[in-house]
Chains A and B, each alone.
Chain A
């Protein structure tokens, strides 16, 4: 797949400073027409900063950007768009209240004799969609469509802009397998037309499936450019992590070491717990010191199931017993008092307070449990904060750093630490490793395994099946908002087996 054509984009020697940190230090990339190019690196490696320099959101301190061979200064997102660089962001940046057609064409609306013609707009949008083999009702409001379709619509917008360069910033992080397939088909189609595509993702499998070349960044610097076919996954991870690559190997063994103590009495017992529109009634036993994984596709009801346990949503049917005593589930208060802790999937909006410091965020749950009239003594507080920052290896280790300034992985660790301080008896983790880099992922997994060895029961929800299988003693499989089976992870269980289970719908 070697092309000799002039790079569509050539960035070199890019330096970008933020107050106190050098985010990019000599980073760069070469993007050729007709290739899908992966931009890889840990969180904090400088991927998003480099993209933002390319799309004109940030101005670099020094360095050179060439678009189609010509040296340019990109003054803003609009300027980038004019130069044929279109971006599809991780969070869809379109208007949910407008029709699909308008979202594609807004700003370049076809006009009729009496101003903007909705009819022509719909026709033009339908043609664009049909040209990409997408079956899509362009007259419906964008918000009526799934996130996947919304991503496709923002790509269609780029197609209509006749973009020569398309930047996809983690477009697949909230899509399920079929949706990813449709997206990839579209990307492949654009590639074959000669569009240069920059693909940012955490999913290495997708890199190998879709990309011809990749650029790896580490600590703001350029590690190198590689052809996908010539570098294996292990080697790639080595490039991304530098010396810490052994981390994952060490972890592989962590959960399996522990013989599950099958005889222990369940700590928590849920019977017929369900909520209409959320999850069909299900039973669940959780024993101390064991990790129970929840596996299933996106939208299979994993989050809904654990939210019921914690009283975050109100169940319609059934109830929960802790140590044989029923726990009222109207609000999370009683479950918290019973020793449950819930790390939310959405750490930005439901978990952390970005403006508060690491210390404040760590102490939040404990302080709330004590009541505001009995403040935690300053000395205890300082000790606890120091202990957990060290145990969780939160970086930077300064307790007064605002949480908003941390990387995604470190934010997740703060959230985890907040609940660990409470010494919970059941820790519910909803997607604790989503959107964080491999090193941080390994650390979070290590912490979870360590916590369970100390006797804490853990409920672990994750979209990554490998991760669920690596950590869990027992796996609960969900599909279409129902629990379809429970499998013991006794060594014989692998991803294929669980996928088959999901595909068969539990064989019922």
Chain B
């Protein structure tokens, strides 16, 4: 008796969003099947892997990260080095120094940094803020202006600051807008509605539906994405048919498993391997749940996750 294969192919599909310009530009989304289910239908645009660099540098990171950038004098050098990894599809510049509760770097400095990084690489650029809503809104507005024509993603606008970011990045300067919500599917939908109601084309918006490291309330991340894809494809809910990008490295490299020293936890073994384990586990899991792009930190994680995507698509 032959096996009758079930098929879950939908009339609805995820929007495509282009990032970057030129030969190295990338396309996120476009699929009309569940995440990675190529046996239900072709997935034209494989999920993408980005690498994260911080403008605070990575000197205090594990050897595989700090060592990788050891010969880089500037953030632009770091960006170039990061983008030189073949498996890397895009670079995410994190402007950690802008944090008013930290270094409180002036906006002009951050704009200059973003410009230098954008000039240094030919792969698409994602700009992430410092998690301070007000500062991020001001930063993104200036950077969106300064990087016109580069088609960069401002990652991300939240409920508290979306208006300015959507108006500048999404409307005035023709960049891409990230819409970030913290594992709350109703808010994810609402934020998309609000941003598109301002006149921003949904094809210029990428969602971040919330991130966490595996083991840290990750079930909410999974269920939010599962439900987003079910609504987008199964219910043809256009306000959720946006590709998802998930910052993984910035979550996983902050948890105990990745930061506890070998001195403190001798039984646990290599800190670096633990950190990579957390990063690739979390990345593979969000890809299985529906992320169209992940942002990672360790070059070995990038290689492993890119290999998995290549094998699956």
Q: Do A and B bind each other?
A: no
